[in-house]
Each structure stands twice: as C-alpha cells, then as structure tokens.
Structure 1
Amino acid sequence: MLWENGQMGRPTRNTTRDLRRGNRESLLRALAYRGPTSRQKMSDLTGLSTATVSTLIAGLLAEGVVVEAGALESDGGRPRILIEINPGHGHLIGVDVGETRIRLELFDLRLTGIAKAEYAVVRGEHDPERVAEDILRGVRTLITDAGIDSSRVLGVGIGVPGVVAEGGVVDAPTYGWARAPLGELLRARTPLPLHIDNGAKTLGLAELQFGAGQGSDHVIVALLGTGVGVAIINDGTLYRGISNSAGEWGHTIVERDGRRCRCGRRGCLEAYVGAGAILERYASLAPGALHQGVDEETALAALIADADAGSAPAVQVLAETADWLAIGLANLINLFNPERVLLACWAGRLLGTALLTEIRAATRRRTMASLYDDATISLGALGPDAVALGAATLVLESFLATASTAPRA
C-alpha cells in the first residue's frame, strides 16, 4: 500500500510514460555520475535492454541533453561509441555559506568547475540580508566572468549551517539565526531556481558521488570545521529525518554539564572538537602561543606544527581532541553500523592527517568490536570546495528528474 500525506492512498499504476521517464532518468543518472559510457555498459548498469538504451539515447541526442564523446576500442568488432551528458546543455552554481567565508563555484553539467568567487564574512556579522546579498553578488560575478547567459543556469544550490526547513527557512544558532528567511530573501531578488540544504548534507552528497564514499551504500561523512555536523548515507540515500534536521552531530551531548557550546547548551561535541573550541583550549594552556589575526585554519595548522615540534600543551590538546572525536565517532558507528566513516572539511583533513592512527585506536576502544570491524575510518577525498560541489549536485538532481520527462511529440 502507498501512503500520501499520512493517509492510506490508493495503489497507483505505472503508465508507459511513467516507465519511459524512469528509464530515461536511470540512463541520465548513470551518465551524470560515471562519465562517458558506452551503450552496452549503460545496459549493464541500468538493467535495460540494449534496444531500449539505443532508443532512449537517440532521443536524448536529438534533444541535445547528451553528446557522443569518442569511441572505445574493442577486441574484434566495431569500436563502441561513448555517450556523456552534454556539458554545455546548462550550468550549475554551488554555494558554501561558511563561518568565515562564502564560496561559490560555477559548474558545467559534468560538474567540471568553470569559475569561482569568494567573499569574507566577519565573525559575528552573519545578517541574513548581508549573506543573501553576498550570494547574489557572487552569482552575478560568476555568470559575468564565465561569459554565459543567465538563462543557461539551471539553478543555484546553497549549503548553509544549521537546520533548513521548507522554503529555505534556516535555524542556525551559531549564526544567531532563528527562522531566518534566507530562501525568501533570495527569491525576491533572483528568478533562478534555488535549492537550500544543510552544508554537512551537501558535503556528504559530494563525497558519496565524487569522493571517498563512491561505491558504498552505508557511509558517515563527518564535517569538522568551526562547526561540526554529519551526513548519514543509508542504503545509498541521504538520511534526513522527519523535518530534514538529522545530522546535528555536533550538538549531541558527550559530557554532562560540560563545556558551554556556541548553541548555548553544555557538553555538546562541538564544544570539544570544533576548531574554535580546540584553539580556545590551546590558548588557555599556552597563552601567547597562537598568532593573533590569523584565520582558524591557519591557527589549527600552527597548533599541529607546534605539537610536531614537541610543545607539551599542543600535544595535550591534540590527544584530548582525538579522544573526544573518538567518542563521537564510536556513537555513530554503534548507532548506524556504516561501512565507511570519512573525516572531511578543512579541520577534518588537518586533524585526520595528523591524528588518524590515534583516532582509530581511540574509536576502537569505545565501539562494539564487530561494528568497528565493519567500518573503515579514513579521510574525505575532496578539498575545500566540497560543500559547493555537493550543493551544485542538488541542482543536478533536479535537472535529472526534469530531463527524464521526454518532450511530447
């Protein structure tokens, strides 16, 4: 039985048009995420007959959605023609709204980066109007720099901190946002389609499709930066919860009446493994050790360098950080039984590179043995643009769904 809006609905029947739309979407999805592919390989990937694949590809070629991309030599017989998504059929913009900067990137339909823009955000000055204006200014800059018509932009995907409700309403306590109408502010100033989601979730989508999560259906992607979040991939699908709020890992409690978190509560994981919290502990143990006026990424890298040079306070802070992080990771592994756990975002890469052996060992001590053995803990494969890439993937997903509907004859 099917449920619609919480009520028992009537069983639906798939029409021939529904079937065709589903087949087109399967083909487009394979091409979008695997790159140039032969018709035979597409048949293997989708389970469709070669005749069905050939018919659908002919239609997509005529519409300009896909193009031929060279040939693959075969043993005996004719070379196999490769097909790919037409990179120039449209463009996508991904936006990463971070604690200290807003990053934007323009992509083609193969998610190849074309142009970038970046704007600094002053700590504590995250007014929604200002953030919306910076996003739109960046969008205009990208379009101008790339020399494309705005009509060729299929949409803008935006990754933000905090919980995103319907319509792009954002609750982000660390920004001071309570029901901030970011979507409304943006839609009032641009006709471009908008897709707004939590930044950890967009990072998870990027790692799943293009990074270290490829090939796995059960993945935990931990975003470690100034803030802390997580993307949970279950059966190949992003787990969102009932109100798209799942993944606030940084605000799970790891110590009763512990350190005060930026959200106002005590004992949150973010108050121990967020970059700002790590640096605060170091400053309290080694006054004057941190250089003033540098950004958190530079400061955390310097702390790690101090530990490598033998600084006792730096060594202590990193050991404590590895231990607190292990508590958080053990909870995730015990709860979700993932195949892979990825440490991602800029602080995740720095801490993972320096402490991966210690993090793994501490996590093993706190995790049920059989569940730990099922999982591998490693670094994410993508760089600082991963959130923007994942945000652009939101636009790509919308395009794939729309393009799966063949034009009527």
Structure 2
Amino acid sequence: MAGRSGRTVRDLRRGNRAAVLQRLYFDGPMSRFELAPATGLSGGSISNVVAELVEDRLVEEAGTVESDGGRPRTLLRVAPSAGHMIGVDVGETRVRVELFDLTLTELARTERPLEHHGYDVEAVVGHIRDGIAEVLAGTGITAGQLLGVGIGVPGIVARTPERGAVVHGQTIGWDAVPLESLLRSTCELPDSVPYFIDNGARTLGQAELWFGAGRGSRNAVVVLFGSGVGACLVTEGTEYGRALEWGHVTVRVGGRRCRCGALGCLEAYAGAGALVDRWREAGGHPPQGADEESALAALLAAARSEADPAAVAVLEETAEYVGAGLSDLVNLFQPERILIGGWAGLQLGPRLLPALRRHTSAYALRHPTEQVSIDLGTLGPDAVTVGAAGLPLTDFFAQGGRRATRSQ
C-alpha cells in the first residue's frame, strides 16, 4: 500500500535499512543509541531495523562502550563476510582484478598485461574473465557470494535495454563495444551476478570521496592522469559522481593531435604518452623500449637533476596547460576541492602541484579560486579498482542490503 508520497511500506523499510547500513559502514561501529539521531529514525525503528539486519547476518556486534551511568552499550558494525565484490580496472597497460569483502578489504588480486594486444576487445574480455576466475579460486569464495562485478573503463558508458552497458572509447578504438553482453557470454558467472560498468575516472572519484582525500566534500572534482586524462564531478545533485571527458577540452587551438583525432586537447599535452613524446621531440632521451610508467619516471628524474633542460621545459609547459584546464573546472563547477589521481598524476603531482595551483589561480576567476583547494588523492594506484568494487556496494546499500538480481 502506498502513502501520500507514493512510497510503500516496503520502500520505507528498504530506506530505513539503507540508512542504518550506510551509517554503520562509514561511521561505525556505533550503538543503537547513536544510530537514532545519526539516521533521523526513532528508537523503535532502529531496534526493528537492527534486529532484521542482525538476523540477515549483515550487521554484527563489535564490543561495548561505557554509557553515562547506565549499562554498557553494544556497538554494531557491518559484517565483513556478509558479501563480496570484484573490482576491475581496465587500465592503459594492464587489467587489474581484485576481490574484496563487504568492507572493501582486499582478499585477492591479479594483473594481466596489455602490451601485446593493446585494447583488443577479445583480449580485454579474456583478461577480465580469467582474472575473475583466478581471484575466486584463490580464496574459495563462490560466485554466488558476489554482490556484483564493478568495472572501470576508459570512455563513455551508455546503458541499453538490449545489450546492457556499451562502451564508446574513441581514444582506444572502441566503437560501441557491448562489453556487458560479451562478459555475460564469456564469464562463468551465474546470471544473478550483476555487472556495473562505468568510466574509470568516475570509479576513481567515488573511491576518493568515500575513503580518501575527498571525504566530506559536497562539491568536488577528482581528476585522473594516466595515458589519458579524465575527471569526475561530485555535487549535491550527482551523489556518486558524473564522469567528465575533461581530457578533451581544447587548451590550444590548432595544437597537437590527440588520440581522439581532434587538435589541441589537454590529453595531447598532459597524458603520459604525450608527455614522453614531447620530451623526445624537445631533444630528451627516454629509455629505449621502456613502458609509459618507466619513461615518465625517467622524465621526472631528468628534470629533478636539472641536467636535462628539455625535461624541465616540458614539465613547466605541462603545468601551465593543466592549470588552464583546472581553471575551466573551477569556473564551471566552483568545487570545494580538486583532487589529482591516476598513476601518472601521482607521479607528477609532487613535482607539479605548486605550479598547478599558481597557474590555476592565474587563469580562473578570483572568487571561486579562493574557495578551492588542489591536492593529491590519497588512495594510490588501486583507487580505480576500489571505486569499481564500490559500484555493486552502492547498489547493495540502495536496496537496503538486498542482493541485486539484474545487471545495471
């Protein structure tokens, strides 16, 4: 039966369960006494909801705490073994697959290099399939215990009724790749296990905002630097973030050609591969046969020693291009925080951060610039995978701790 708001009793119960689970997850352990004001629910509702969640083995006791003159209060927490998630990062050089418990504690991981196949769709699907099978076999967790598989990918993800999640990855040569349906036909997972596929910058942003430097922000942008460049916007109207193709804003009219085919994109100057190419063109000497991560590390080492003027000049120019790009984010979205992540961002950040702040201030409007902080993310290179695993977890919370039965 629906009330005046259109919400049924089932909706109310699901919402109450979700409120308690999320509060315990992010702020627990907590007592029943603390949960009532924290969730806005009555003491009676808290008692009923907690009893249900304990019976469902989603919540467990976690010790006691002394009260003011009364009996000790029992602390509650989300039970780590109540569910498991897999997070997948389809990165520039490898596919990383990790298995987590319900509290996002890593239980197993595997990585498979992409250098021989690049972004060949069949190879990527095979790496995801084999990685999922390996982490499950290594822990004894069954597929039926999974809340879902979250996958962070480069590109724009569209959801279709017929084929599920479809990836438009122009820079990697993916034209409407039906990744979800390919995985369903390839992976040996039951149909009841949902796939959650989203842009890698968004999964990175979700991880930083849940567990990293962005926690507590109402309006933040998390930017990702790797071979490509992306961003995730989180505002009060986009609770779990919206991916932005920030790497393809134009920072120089008629400039360098980007992987997407356009001229003058930020990614053509600030992506890791572009940085190494510009260093070589300026007279630098990247190590022969080195991958992007090693070549970028060599560029930074050359600039630190100041024995290579070309390396210093490339990094200084890059800082200005990125600062101009950050100023667009500041002017458009007026965030409280901008966080820099991705494997290349974490390498470049300590060197470039002061210059990035300076150039952002020079190009952005004064008032929003005075309100924003620009810092490095704190979760390291696993942030995309953690955020990807957070996608099925988010859905699990939204369902009040009930398992999804259809792919998203």
Q: Normalising to structure 1: TM-score of the pair?
A: 0.92
Q: In 2, distance between residues paired with 1:35 and 1:384?
A: 26
Q: Which of 349, 373, 376 is residue 352 of structure 1 equivalent to?
A: 349
Partner residue of 2:45? 52
Q: In 1, distance between residues paired with 2:316 and 2:373?
A: 21
Partner residue of 1:194? 195
1:48 Cα deviation after fit: 1.2
Q: Which of 296, 311, 322 is residue 300 of structure 1 equivalent to?
A: 296
> Equivalences for 1:369-388 in 2 at 5 Å?
369-388=366-385
Partner residue of 2:110? 117
Q: Which of 263, 271, 275 is residue 272 of structure 2 equivalent to?
A: 275
Q: Contact conserved, 1:231 with 1:238, CA < 8 A, in 2? A: no
Matched, 1:151 2:153: no
Q: Which of 22, 26, 34 is residue 41 of structure 1 equivalent to?
A: 34
Secondary structure at the residue paired with 2:252?
coil
Q: In 2, distance between residues paired with 1:293 and 1:79?
A: 64
Code of the aligned partner of 1:138: G
Deviations 1:217-267 (A, max 9, x none): 101000111110000001161453xxxxx4000011111111000011111
Matched, 1:176 2:173: yes
Secondary structure at the residue paired with 1:168?
strand
Q: In 2, distance between residues paired with 1:144 and 1:375?
A: 46
Q: In 2, distance between residues paired with 1:333 and 1:389?
A: 27
Q: Which runs of 5+ in 1 are unaligned?
A: 1-10, 241-245
Deviations 1:51-100 (A, max 9, x none): 22122101110111111112233454333222111111111000000111
Q: In 1, distance between residues paired with 2:27 and 2:314?
A: 42
Secondary structure at the residue paired with 2:324?
helix
Once superposed, what is the RMSD of the aligned Cα atoms? 1.6
Count of aligned positions: 390
Q: Which runs of 5+ in 2 are unaligned?
A: 404-408
Q: Which of 102, 122, 129 is residue 95 of structure 2 equivalent to?
A: 102
1:149 Cα deviation after fit: 1.8
Q: In 2, distance between residues paired with 1:31 and 1:95?
A: 26
Q: Normalising to structure 2: TM-score of the pair?
A: 0.92
1:269 Cα deviation after fit: 0.7
Q: In 1, distance between residues paired with 2:259 and 2:96?
A: 23
Partner residue of 1:331? 328
Query: What is the percent sequence identity of the aligned residues?
Result: 49
1:303 Cα deviation after fit: 1.1
Moved over 4 A (4+): none
Q: Contact conserved, 2:220 with 2:335, CA < 8 A, in 1? A: yes
Q: In 2, distance between residues paired with 1:229 and 1:360?
A: 18
Secondary structure at the residue paired with 1:263?
coil
1:35 Cα deviation after fit: 3.7
Partner residue of 1:205? 206
Code of the aligned partner of 1:22: G
1:300 Cα deviation after fit: 1.3
Matched, 1:217 2:204: no
Partner residue of 2:239? 237
Deviations 1:109-128 (A, max 9, x none): 01111111100002663121
Q: Contact conserved, 1:261 with 1:270, CA < 8 A, in 2? A: yes
Secondary structure at the residue paired with 1:262?
coil
Q: Contact conserved, 2:117 with 2:123, CA < 8 A, in 1? A: no
Partner residue of 2:406? none
